[in-house]
Homo-oligomer: A and B are copies of this chain.
Amino acid sequence: MKATPVIAIHGGAGTILRQAMNAEAEARYHAALTDILRAGERILADGGSALDAVTEAVRLLEDCPLFNAGHGAVFTAAGTHELDASVMDGATLEAGAISCVTRVKNPVLAARRVLDVSDHVMFTAAGAEAFAEAQGLEFVDPSYFYTEARHQQWMKARGTSGTMLDHDAMTKFASDNDLIDPDKKFGTVGAVAFDAHGHVAAATSTGGITNKQAGRVGDAPLIGAGCYANDATCAVSTTGTGEMFMRMLAAYDVSAQMEYRGVSLEDASNDVVMNKLPRIEGRGGLVAVDAKGNVVLPFNTEGMYRGFARVGETPFTAIYR
């Protein structure tokens, strides 16, 4: 019997404290995650590919202002928005990524076009925008990425510390009782899926970290760090302190442990998130599926916006531990 197709998504991990949220804000997150899971589930139910399902789920996460990607992206130190995205197809090991774009409405669609049509895997900055433009993708004025909530976060972050990954600054920030988003300094969105054809895929997108230095590239657009997919093992999308995920090759490491140590998706993911990342103070989590339809959503922070949906079943969504 074939395993049931499944999609899992995340909307970022961090110091998401129950006491800093209220019922209304929680309900808004659960509703957004559920709607997006249902959209991905429909694609998979219709026999669509894992690659199409994760691309569409991340496009919807980008369009939702609750999450730090696309519309809803955080501000850089320069007061601008810089967006990164990546996508990988487990069936072919083909991948596409873009970093540091400022006017592409949906970065994940640009990453997908790189995968689909380019001999290259990654484009950055002006060259990435030129590629997206040549591909006829939708462009927006940079003001499209402006949201009042993110602007307030930025104004606060500018007043705290230049050290963006300072845990003290994060705690202080969270205690400011920002109902929409207590800590999105390392917010990222992502999706992984397993389809009816036995293939897996992953996609990741981010608006970066609040008040980051211009030009900083995190793990989200980096194949093997923030995104990885291989039918032989698994598909992974991560979120967290990007620099530590880059140094650990967090997404690929889950796959490598499955392939070379012969451990399960669950054991490999837990080792990366609960053991390896904390050794270098890496905080965050990931969502992953394997080619048997198993799903894991581990994180080492107070919370991670997350959920999964198997075709024909009611989506599961969660925020806290």
Contact = CB atoms under 8 A, between A and B. Distances in A.
Interface of A: 82, 88, 93-95, 99-100, 118-128, 130-131, 163-165, 212-218, 222-225, 228, 242-243, 246-249, 252-253, 256-257, 259-261, 280
A260 B249 contact: no
A150 to B, nearest CB: 19
Contacts of A223: 222, 225, 246-247, 249
Contacts of A261: 260-261
A231 to B, nearest CB: 13
Contact of A127 (B118, B213, B257): B213
Contacts of A128: 215
A1 B165 CA distance: 42
A125 B215 contact: yes
A128 B100 CA distance: 11
A94 B131 contact: no
A139 to B, nearest CB: 16
14 contacts: A88-B247, A99-B217, A119-B165, A120-B243, A121-B247, A122-B246, A130-B213, A131-B213, A223-B246, A223-B247, A224-B224, A252-B252, A252-B256, A256-B257
B125 A246 contact: no
Contacts of A215: 123-128, 130-131
Contacts of A247: 88, 93-95, 121, 223
Given A93-B247, A126-B215, 5 more contacts: A121-B246, A121-B247, A123-B215, A259-B260, A260-B260
Contacts of A131: 213, 215
A126 B125 contact: yes
Contacts of A243: 119-121
A124 B122 contact: no
Given A120-B243, A252-B252, A127 B260 contact: no
A53 to B, nearest CB: 21
Contact of A260 (B82, B99, B213, B256): B256
Contacts of A212: 120
Given A246-B95, A280-B93, A125 B124 contact: yes
A72 to B, nearest CB: 21
A165 to B, nearest CB: 5
Contacts of A249: 223-224, 228, 249, 252, 256
Given A247-B94, A256-B256, A125 B122 contact: no
Contacts of A228: 249
A114 to B, nearest CB: 10
A248 B225 CA distance: 12
Nearest to A224: B249
Contacts of A93: 247-248, 280
